A and B are shown apart, each in its own frame.
Chain A
Amino acid sequence: METLFFLIISLVAIVSAILVVTLKNPINSALSLIMTFFCLATYYVMLDAPFMAAVQVMVYAGAIMVLMVFTIMLLNIRVDASKKHSHKLILGSIIGFFTFLNAFFVIYRSRAALPTGPYSGEMIKSVGHTELVGREIFTNFLLPFEVTSILLLVAIIGAVILAKKKI
């Protein structure tokens, strides 16, 4: 049952990912990308990580893609369907083929079953995924967490300075 579900979601993810690069209209491409993000969130749910799934939808599908759609709308890129785009098909397919080969070998050669660690499905269910993530972030990974927040703060201040004409 879970395999069937996985296959359906994967099919949707792959089809929408292909549509992102093949559709002519940039807004429709953006919609397909949102669909792909949604499928990724579904994978997180299947891996017992509901917090990651919610954050994936909220941050990627909800915030970043809204900005992208905004940009596309404001730049008003209108593509006429008659115009044929040459994306250097042969070059692209060669690069794609080798990337695929690369990914295939990485997955094939690596061990599929990694050491499990202290977190089992039952433990996540009884303690709660959000609680576990929070505990790890604020104890073992406190320094990386704080460094990331300083990085984000710098980005925010940078955006304000760039957007303001007179400071």
Chain B
Amino acid sequence: MGIEILGLPMMYYIAMVAKVLVAFVFVLLTVAYATYAERKIIGHMQVRLGPMRTGWHGLLQPIADGVKLFFKEEIIPSQASTFAFLVAPLIALVPAFITFAVIPFGGTIEIAGYKIPLQIAAYYDTAAGQVYDVNVGVLYILAMSSLGVYGIVLAGWASNSKYSLMGGLRASAQMISYELSAGLSLVAVFMLSGTLSLSKIVEFQSGLGGFEWYLFKQPLAAFMFFICSLAEINRTPFDLPEAETELVSGFCTEYSSMKYAMFFMAEYANMVTVCALTTTIFLGGWNGPLTSAIPLLGPVYFIAKVYFLMFVCMWIRATLPRYRYDQLMHLGWKVFIPVALVNIVVTGIIGYFI
């Protein structure tokens, strides 16, 4: 590995590509099987079996669904504004996937003498002897999730149909309102950590055998952040934008074939992102017992925690009925934002005296 490109060893580039590929394939597979898991889990919670026919206990169901959607006819409504209609699914899908660039999914491993941090946008500086990652990791994720709103708004507007427009308007109003309280609830955590870099936030939670989680120091913030994120990605009980009893299917009513599948993938990818972010900030990220001895345990703990949170999302979906629109706005603006502000003030006072 003596070859160098632009002053950096070849290994850096290989590691970078490998990390991107592994993370991307992992998220894609998780997205595909999250749809299956969701149907299966909700089915069992409602004393049904869920998908059973395709493969053993329906294990091939996501592949069958994908093939079906891929071969369906592509319909573009004649009155739609074509450009916005075509780019909307892409705008929804891309921000959902690129947020994984800053999420650390493991510690630093050593391959052929090079130390490689298990985080896509990070590198190990041999001269300084420490890992550098994106200095504003959390802000990057918040910025990307604020871009996801365009996909839905454009889809709703460009379809030129009443249901789609209503769905798009609802979605954007909801996402903008809950973005605020999600951001504010995170501020309390930053006051404790003193950094926005995700790998440092994970590092600060490594005490007490990997269990010094911010969940225990900031339970209110963790709770609020998770709920606000559910609202921001339009999951039940906040799935008003696609309330099928009122709006057919909301913003994606007019979409068919792969474009519909893209919205579907974006929704589940957002769910994975939110669960990964909550894990990183509140549940100690990849920390756990024995991670310093065996670094490869890090990703295992990380995946286990993310999957647990995704299970909680599905559990909530199977349990709670949908909110009414005015209740949703009331909850966001009059409950979560004041509570988050009070939480910041209380954290500040306690932090000043300790």
Residues of A within 8 A of B (CB): 1, 25, 27-28, 31, 34, 50-51, 53-55, 57-58, 61-63, 65-66, 69-70, 73, 125-126, 128-131
**1/0 per residue B278-314: CB within 8 Å of A?**
0000000000000000000000000000000000000
Name the residue of chain A whose CB is nearest to the CB of B134: A50
Q: How far is the CB of A132 from chain B (nearest CB, A)?
A: 10
Report chain A residues within 8 Å CB of B84: 25, 27-28, 31
Chain A to chain B contacts (Cβ below 8 Å), 6 pairs: A25-B84, A54-B142, A54-B143, A62-B149, A63-B176, A130-B139
Which residue of B81, B136, B142, B172 contacts A130 across the interface (Cβ within 8 Å)? Answer: B136
Q: How far is the CB of B330 from chain A (nearest CB, A)?
A: 17
Is B157 part of the contact surface with A, judged by Cβ < 8 Å? yes
Q: How far is the CB of A125 from chain B (nearest CB, A)?
A: 7
Q: Contact at A34–B136, with CB atoms within 8 Å?
A: no
Name the residue of chain A whose CB is nearest to the CB of B154: A27
Name the residue of chain B whose CB is nearest to the CB of A62: B146
Report chain A residues within 8 Å CB of B257: none
Q: Contact at A1–B150, with CB atoms within 8 Å?
A: no
Query: Quick one: given A25-B81, A69-B153, are A58 and B135 in contact (CB under 8 Å)?
Result: no
Is B132 part of the contact surface with A, judged by Cβ < 8 Å? yes
Quick one: which of B129-153 are within 8 Å of A by CB? 132, 134-136, 139-140, 142-144, 146-147, 149-150, 153
In angstroms, Cα B136 to Cα A36, docked, is: 21
Is B71 part of the contact surface with A, judged by Cβ < 8 Å? no
Residues of B within 8 A of A (CB): 6, 81, 83-84, 87, 128, 132, 134-136, 139-140, 142-144, 146-147, 149-150, 153-154, 157-158, 165, 168-169, 172, 176, 195-197
Which residue of B153, B154, B195 contacts A128 across the interface (Cβ within 8 Å)? Answer: B195
Q: How far is the CB of A114 from chain B (nearest CB, A)?
A: 24
Which residue of A25, A125, A126 contacts B83 across the interface (Cβ within 8 Å)? Answer: A25
Name the residue of chain A whose CB is nearest to the CB of B5: A1
Q: Contact at B150–A66, with CB atoms within 8 Å?
A: yes
In angstroms, Cα B168 to Cα A63, docked, is: 16
Q: Contact at B135–A129, with CB atoms within 8 Å?
A: yes
In angstroms, Cα B144 to Cα A62, docked, is: 8
Report chain A residues within 8 Å CB of B172: 66, 70
Q: Contact at A73–B136, with CB atoms within 8 Å?
A: no
Number of A-B residue pairs with CB-CB distance less than 8 Å in the complex they form: 78
Q: Contact at B139–A27, with CB atoms within 8 Å?
A: no
Which residue of A55, A69, A70, A130 contacts B135 across the interface (Cβ within 8 Å)? Answer: A130
Q: Contact at B143–A62, with CB atoms within 8 Å?
A: yes
In this complex, which of B83, B143, B158, B165 has the most chain A Cβ atoms within 10 angstroms of its Cβ? B143
Report chain A residues within 8 Å CB of B144: 57
In angstroms, Cα B143 to Cα A66, docked, is: 13
Q: Contact at A125–B132, with CB atoms within 8 Å?
A: yes
Which residue of B128, B140, B157 contacts A54 across the interface (Cβ within 8 Å)? Answer: B140
Query: Quick one: given A27-B157, A50-B136, are A63 and B197 in contact (CB under 8 Å)?
Result: no
In angstroms, Cα B169 to Cα A7, docked, is: 38
Q: Contact at B150–A128, with CB atoms within 8 Å?
A: no
Report chain A residues within 8 Å CB of B135: 50-51, 128-130
Which residue of B83, B147, B169 contacts A57 across the interface (Cβ within 8 Å)? Answer: B147
Q: Contact at B6–A1, with CB atoms within 8 Å?
A: yes
Report chain A residues within 8 Å CB of B142: 54, 58
Report chain B residues within 8 Å CB of A125: 132
Query: Quick one: given A66-B153, A69-B153, A130-B196, are A54 and B136 in contact (CB under 8 Å)?
Result: yes
Q: Contact at A62–B81, with CB atoms within 8 Å?
A: no
Report chain A residues within 8 Å CB of B6: 1
In angstroms, Cα B158 to Cα A51, docked, is: 33
In angstroms, Cα B158 to Cα A28, docked, is: 11
Q: Contact at A51–B139, with CB atoms within 8 Å?
A: yes
In angstroms, Cα B158 to Cα A59, docked, is: 24
Q: Contact at A126–B128, with CB atoms within 8 Å?
A: yes
